[in-house]
């Protein structure tokens, strides 16, 4: 036996998962479900941050990304930490500030409140402060720690690495809510990818968005390129009385509901029933690999969500993300893409939507696509069946 194998049985030397081993050794709750209400998850003292926290693992998180919740009590601060994995923080509740130690030793501080988004440049030391004396600050952190820890399987290398990534922080104004807008004409389909390059978005509910009709009539979207990183984030908006088209993609996209109310449906091709998840601020889930999912707004205001995963607009990293960024995610499955057009979807989907918005007294804006009177006249039991993807007419992209 080699030195590293000393004391281990054969069964303990194989099929290792260094990321999960690390998570289980951190001494905080590890929650696992299809999705989570991040505002309600139980946290416990986390020595690494000198704060409270928990892991919010999902069945669809895949191999590259995961999520944890960090909770800082009133008037307290975390200890300074740094790590060799990328981290996107979405503020679930509370007010505070973050101080970064940049390459070269300069300090950068910015203040945040509910529904802010910020990224920690790779391997920069940071400290999070709760500036309220009355309420906890709770933040969702989507990160690529599974990728880093499983690749290097050395915690000392991940958490105590002295290397400075001088190209990651960007310009100082990107920590003050400023940034740069770029537009990329996608090669697949006819749509434009609008990207905002920054490190900090003070408030997502009022942030400017851009039309992306390919994902549904009235749909709005913006991509974020954060801290010059390899992780991806985008925000989408669903108009009142409407919903997005169903599509599918790689695992690990952590979807956070920002505003509005409704639900999401998920299914695999050939399923007889849908998985239904609620839509409200604080709820987060990840669609498993190649599982169709569709988002529905049932309230009287536009609904927004934030999606974080591996593969940014600048650095797609995996081939599936490259094709998604180039338009494959909003191209019909009948053309080799990953999206189900409204006219091809299971009739139960729109029937369910009509019944849901009737309860919330919202008018449908989908009558130009569906014969809603005829659909409601069909008995519900006649709409049951197996959910099948329309016939592919080209290579899957």
For 253-295, how does the pLDDT look when each residue is reduced to its tens digit (9 = 90+)?
Answer: 999 999 999 999 999 998 989 999 999 999 999 999 999 999 9
69: left (phi over 0), alpha (psi -120 to 50) or beta: beta
Domain stops at, among 144, 169, 194? 169
Same domain, 98 and 156: yes
Same domain, 92 and 192: no
Look at residue 38 and tell me if it is in a domain. yes
Same domain, 214 and 127: no
Same domain, 198 and 147: no
Q: For strand 51-58 and strand 30-33, is the pairing parallel, antiparallel, or unpaired?
A: parallel
Q: What Å distances lie between residue 113 and 74, 77, 200, 364, CA to CA?
A: 14, 15, 12, 34
pLDDT tier at 328 (50, 70, 90 boundaries)?
confident
Q: Give the long-range contacts of residues 370-375, CB within 8 A, separation 24 or more.
A: 370/342, 375/347, 375/350, 375/351
- Report d(CA 189, CA 254) in Å as an integer: 25
Beta carbons within 8 Å of 188's beta carbon, 6+ residues apart: 323, 326, 327, 328, 331, 337, 397
3-class DSSP assignment, residue 328:
helix
Same domain, 206 and 159: no
Q: Please state which of the ranges 247-256, 326-335, 365-374 shows the lowest mean pLDDT.
A: 326-335
Same domain, 217 and 327: yes
Look at residue 157 and tell me if it is in a domain. yes
Radius of gyration (C-alpha) of the chain in whole angstroms: 22
Dihedral sign of CA atoms 178, 183, 184, 190 in order:
positive
- Report d(CA 66, CA 63) in Å as an integer: 8
Look at residue 279 and tell me if it is in a domain. yes
Name the domain count of the chain: 2
Q: Please state which of the ranges 69-73, 120-124, 284-288, 380-384 shows the lowest mean pLDDT.
A: 380-384
What is the distance of C-alpha 190 from the center of its chain?
25
Same domain, 119 and 154: yes
Please give the structure tokens belonging to residue 179: 């940034």
Domain stops at, among 169, 202, 220? 169
- Report d(CA 124, CA 145) in Å as an integer: 15
Q: What are phi and psi of 33, to 5 degrees?
A: -160, 180
Look at residue 202 and tell me if it is in a domain. yes
E strand map for 34-165: 35-37, 44-46, 51-58, 66-72, 87-93, 96-101, 107-112, 117-120, 125-130, 137-143
Look at residue 371 and tell me if it is in a domain. no
pTM of the predicted protein model: 0.94
Same domain, 197 and 324: yes
Same domain, 321 and 244: yes
pLDDT tier at 397 (50, 70, 90 boundaries)?
low
Look at residue 378 and tell me if it is in a domain. no
**pLDDT for the residue numbered 383:** 81
Contact 242, 155 (CB under 8 A): no
Q: Which residues pair with 110 in a beta bridge?
A: 98
- Domain carrying residue 225: 174-340
Please give the structure tokens belonging to residue 162: 């002295």
Domain stops at, among 169, 199, 231? 169
Find where tokens 């696992």 sit: 32
**pLDDT for the residue numbered 395:** 54
Same domain, 197 and 252: yes
Q: What Å distances lie between residue 57 and 30, 140, 146, 395, CA to CA?
A: 7, 12, 11, 33
Same domain, 55 and 139: yes
* Rounded average pLDDT over 68-75: 98
Query: Which domain CATH number covers 31?
Result: 2.60.120.10
**pLDDT for the residue numbered 379:** 84
Q: For residue 329, which of 234, 250, 249 has the smallest C-alpha distance?
A: 249
Report which secondary-structure segment, H or E, holds 351.
helix 347-360
Q: Which residues pair with 366 in a beta bridge?
A: none
Look at residue 379 and tell me if it is in a domain. no
Look at residue 92 and tell me if it is in a domain. yes
Same domain, 249 and 317: yes
DSSP 243: B
- Report d(CA 66, CA 332) in Å as an integer: 29
């Amino acid at each position: 036996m080699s030195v590293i194998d000393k004391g281990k049985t054969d069964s303990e030397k194989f099929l290792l998962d260094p990321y999960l081993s690390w998570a289980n050794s951190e001494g905080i709750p590890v929650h696992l479900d299809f999705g989570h209400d991040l505002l309600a998850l139980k946290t416990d003292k986390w020595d690494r941050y000198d704060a409270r926290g928990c892991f919010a693992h999902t069945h669809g998180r895949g191999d590259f990304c995961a999520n944890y919740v960090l909770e800082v009590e009133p008037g307290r601060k975390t200890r300074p930490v740094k790590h060799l994995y990328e981290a996107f923080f979405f503020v679930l509740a509370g007010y505070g500030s973050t101080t970064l130690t940049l390459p070269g030793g300069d300090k950068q501080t910015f203040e945040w409140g509910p529904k802010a988004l910020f990224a920690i440049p790779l391997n920069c030391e940071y400290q999070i402060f709760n500036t309220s004396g009355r309420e906890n600050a709770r933040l969702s952190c989507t990160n690529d720690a599974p990728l880093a820890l499983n690749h290097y399987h050395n915690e000392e290398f991940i958490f105590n690495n002295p290397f400075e990534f001088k190209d990651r922080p960007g310009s100082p104004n990107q920590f003050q809510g400023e940034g740069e807008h770029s537009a990329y004409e996608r090669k697949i389909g006819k749509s434009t990818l609008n990207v905002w390059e920054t490190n900090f978005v003070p408030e997502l509910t009022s942030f400017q968005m851009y039309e992306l009709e390919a994902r549904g009539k009235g749909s709005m979207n913006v991509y974020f390129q954060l801290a010059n990183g390899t992780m991806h984030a985008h925000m989408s908006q669903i108009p009142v009385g409407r919903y997005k088209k169903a599509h599918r993609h790689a695992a690990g996209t952590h979807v956070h509901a920002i505003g509005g109310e409704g639900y999401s449906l998920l299914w695999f091709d050939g399923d007889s029933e849908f998985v239904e998840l609620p839509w409200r601020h604080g709820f987060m889930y990840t669609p498993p690999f190649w599982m169709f999912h569709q988002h529905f707004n049932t309230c009287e205001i536009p609904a927004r969500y934030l999606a974080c995963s591996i593969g940014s607009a600048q650095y797609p990293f995996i081939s599936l993300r490259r094709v998604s960024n180039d338009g494959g995610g909003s191209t019909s499955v009948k053309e080799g893409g990953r999206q189900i057009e409204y006219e091809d979807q299971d009739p139960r989907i729109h029937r369910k939507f009509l019944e849901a918005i009737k309860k919330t007294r919202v008018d449908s804006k989908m009558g130009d696509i569906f014969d809603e009177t005829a659909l409601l006249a069909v008995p519900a039991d006649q709409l049951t069946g197996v959910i099948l993807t329309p016939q592919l007419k080209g290579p899957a992209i």
